[in-house]
Amino acid sequence: MRSLLSVTLLLLLLTLSQANRKAKSHKAKHEKSRPASECSSSETHYGKCVPEHGDCGDGLRDATCKGHTDQIHCKIPCNWKKDISDCKYKFGPWGSCDADTNTKSRSGTLKRALFNADCQTSVKVSKPCSPKAKKTTGGKKSN
């Protein structure tokens, strides 16, 4: 009977220590993403998010307020361009393919700036033209 009580107590202690460890790591994860200063977001100037590896993914950015700079965690989505990653734009449709440069482009107007970023009011982006011609619909299939 004593051995059963000892085993139960040991399991209870292990469960409590694991729960405490998870709570600490969860709290630390949220603390890492906020600047330690007591500044509001309008007073804080955020730097560009610099990815740790490659062009996108998890990274770090500087957050400066009242002469104090902290590094906070950030993330760059892999489908965003590096130079406009902190700015959100509304884009129009893609233009026709330019035969000379083999690219097509479209322009966008600023919707909002994230992290008080300095954003251009309008941008123009381009990409290579598709190598395949689009299929026409409604035509007969040839065998």
pLDDT digits (tens, 9 = 90+) for 44-62: 888 888 888 877 788 898 8
Q: What is the DSSP letter of 78?
A: T
Instruction: Kindly list the structural domains of the chain, giving each domain's residue range(s) and its CATH number in brackets, ordered by start.
Output: 36-80 (2.20.60.10), 81-128 (no CATH)
In the prediction, which pLDDT does 29 show? 46
pLDDT digits (tens, 9 = 90+) for 64-83: 888 888 888 888 777 655 55
Which pTM value belongs to this model?
0.40
pLDDT digits (tens, 9 = 90+) for 85-130: 678 889 999 999 998 988 999 999 999 887 777 788 998 888 888 8
Q: What is the DSSP string of 8-60?
A: HHHHHHHHHHHHHHHHHHHHHHHHHTS-SS---TTTPEE---EESSSSSEEEE
In the prediction, which pLDDT does 133 show? 60
pLDDT digits (tens, 9 = 90+) for 16-42: 666 665 555 544 444 444 444 577 777
β-partners of residue 105 are 126
